[in-house]
Amino acid sequence: MTLCNTMSSEAKQQPTTGHCSVPQPSLVPLSMADRIAAFLEGRTHGEDLLHELYDYVLEEPIPQSMRELLK
């Protein structure tokens, strides 16, 4: 996950360099606590957290009783 100021309306451009061997701090995987803190501080939208918490629900079958209500 890349941390950046995604809540800002201004796009900031960083100069690029040709040095590929320099590690980028934004490419280091963050702990769950750091990701939650980033969301609460407004540095991310938290979409990765929501996917991790709720994507399994999309794989659950729809109960027959609910299918009957939808017909």
The per-residue pLDDT for range 49-70, each reduced to its tens digit, is: 999 889 999 999 999 999 999 8
In a domain, 9, yes or no: no
Residue 15 lies in a domain: no
pLDDT tens by residue, 12-37: 444 455 555 544 556 677 888 999 99
**What contacts 5, CB < 8 A, 6 or more positions away?**
12, 43
Token code pair at residue 67: 């299918």
How far apart (Å, rounded) are the C-alpha atoms in residues 50 and 58? 12
CA distance 45 to 58: 21
Decide: pTM greater than 0.85. Answer: no
Domain tally, the chain: 1
User: Which structural domain, as residue segments, surrounds residue 65?
Assistant: 30-70
Would you give the end-to-end CA distance of the chain in angstroms? 41
Q: How far, in Å, CA of 15 to CA of 26, rounded? A: 16
